[in-house]
């Protein structure tokens, strides 16, 4: 059965921006801009993010679940007006140090 696969590759600054915005909207924290780096880990559920932030000169690390990472990147695409098909399977994958959004569109 034929299907279409689309891939969007995100750069580090795009993932950082998406994580900052997502954490601000989710928790209402205004200090999410203190997030200075995001690193990735492939977990059982998908790609998880480790947020590295600095508050009052002290380092802080938080884990962003695979589901939250996916939602953050989908919201980023929406804000940047990157069109995404509605009826498709979407998942994040690691490819080296890059974060990829893989979109599988089933045949009609």
Look at 23-32, 51-60, 94-103 and tell me which has the smallest mean pLDDT.
23-32
The model's pTM: 0.87
In order, the DSSP letters of 7-67 are: EEEE-HHHHHHHHHHHHHHHH--GGGGGEEEEEEEE-SSSEEEEEEEEETTEEEEEEE-HH
Q: pLDDT for 3-50, tens place per residue?
A: 889 999 999 999 999 998 998 888 766 655 578 889 988 888 899 999
């Amino acid at each position: 059965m034929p299907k279409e696969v689309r891939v969007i590759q995100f750069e580090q600054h795009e993932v950082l921006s998406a994580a900052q915005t997502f954490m601000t909207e989710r928790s209402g924290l205004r200090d999410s801009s203190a997030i200075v780096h995001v690193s990735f880990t492939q977990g059982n559920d998908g790609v998880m993010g480790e947020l590295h932030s600095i508050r009052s000169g002290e380092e802080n690390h938080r884990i962003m679940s695979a589901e939250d990472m996916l939602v953050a990147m989908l919201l980023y695409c929406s804000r940047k007006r990157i069109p995404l098909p509605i009826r498709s399977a979407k998942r994040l994958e690691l490819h080296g140090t890059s974060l990829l959004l893989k979109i599988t569109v089933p045949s009609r």
